[in-house]
Structure 1
């Protein structure tokens, strides 16, 4: 039986935050942002909540019907996807202030990923995709992505993401993504790989 996917609503907020917290708690990038385990346990859910609220406000969150996996998407228009990031009261600074004002890495990760984000062409941006730890390897993440990538192919729209682990990078390559530009190495931390996918109709 196929994976049933629906669009999440505000009533799913707690589910999405909990799912992202569990899925990314041991992710290399989360470990870099919150190197202290106790600090991560305290503040990581707050960061996932901030991301969830941003995407609820500006994008779309897809979730499997059983609540075991979710994907956060933003539709990026032509031009610069991060206009206004130089403003004094911009998004990265607000997130840091809300989550943990003393942790500069919360703000830095947003600025660094913004710096490698391609501009000039409209695309679907996969901000995050999370699968419950006990359900990983069942194809849930692939199903969530394919539901959007199929639409991208039909509409001739590109897609973009940053892979935060070698394992996820391999998955994304199987789905048609390819490296675009150089990997981002976080200061004294892991690498992130910017990946771009042309719609199949343009590569056939």
Structure 2
């Protein structure tokens, strides 16, 4: 009998893109930042799956993946690092990755909510880093079946020890759930900004955290 809790380190590639998009859409379905972009529950999963699939195209181009797969070959945990000095995507790159199709697919309002929230988050993260470059942690998730098992802690601790610590650079991230704040604090991240994002009448909670 296969033990699904036997995990193997993996580097994600384009072959994993569909499965990774499915996992991200599942985990982020009720994430406040994503419900802000897609408030309609009935259409959110399909729309979010498209956004995650599109985002992964960018991640594979500019990021560095890490993952663990279970004995069946399914993604059990995953994330991406953007290395210090990774440039901000240009409008041409956004078009290349397909982000500019979002307005036609999901409406101009959803597209603008996405652009405005990302720009605000990135500005605040840069302000909190005060001119320093950092490793940026993006799309760190654990499959719901394995949450609470210690898998996420083990995977991210290894990444911090093997990637971030030797580099001399800090790491940074944004998160919108309080339970995630506790998770990252246990690994040495500290909150540097806890202000909501978006218009006052329709904002969502957010924490910017820095390690090192």
**TM-score, normalisation: structure 2:** 0.81
Per the alignment, residue 6 of structure 1 pairs with: 10
| Aligned match of 2:166 | 154
Residue from 186, 189, 196 that aligns with 2:203: 189
Shift of 1:90: 6.6
Say whether residues 1:100 and 2:103 are aligned partners.
no
User: Partner of 1:172 in structure 2?
Assistant: 184
Query: Helix, strand or coil for the counterpart of 1:13?
Result: helix
1:59–1:73 contact (8 Å) kept in structure 2: yes
Change (3 A) 1:181 1:164: closer
C-alpha distance in 2 between matches for 1:39 and 1:112? 25
- Maintained 8 Å contact 1:177/1:195: yes
- Contact kept in structure 1, 2:195 and 2:206, CA below 8 Å: yes
Summarize the alignment of residues 1-204 of structure 1 with structure 2, pairs less than 5 Å apart. Answer: 3-66=7-70, 67-77=75-85, 82=88, 84=90, 91=94, 95-98=99-102, 100-102=106-108, 103=110, 104-118=112-126, 120-151=131-162, 152-187=164-199, 188-198=202-212
- For residues 68 and 194 of structure 2, the distance between their equivalents in structure 1, rounded to whole angstroms, comes to 33
Separation of aligned partners in 1, 2:114 and 2:148: 29
Figure out how many residues of one structure are paired with residues of the other and give that number: 193
Q: Could you say if the C-alpha distance between residues 180 and 43 of structure 1 is closer, same or farther in structure 2, counting changes exceeding 3 Å? A: same
In structure 1, runs of 5+ residues without a counterpart are: 199-204
Q: Shift of the alpha carbon at 1:37? A: 0.7
1:194 is displaced (CA, Å) by: 0.6
Distance, in Å, in 2 between the alignment partners of 1:39 and 1:159 is 34
TM-score (norm 1): 0.83
User: Distance in 2 between the 1:155 and 1:61 partners?
Assistant: 17
> C-alpha displacement at 1:107, in angstroms?
1.7
The Cα of 1:101 is off from its aligned counterpart by 4.1
CA contact (8 A) 1:3 1:140 kept: no
Shift of 1:83: 7.0
Stretches of 4+ aligned residues off by more than 6 angstroms? none
Q: Once the 2 structures are TM-superposed, how far is the Cα of residue 19 of structure 1 from its aligned partner? A: 1.0
Higher share of residues assigned helix = 2
* Cα distance in 2 for residues equivalent to 1:45 and 1:156: 35
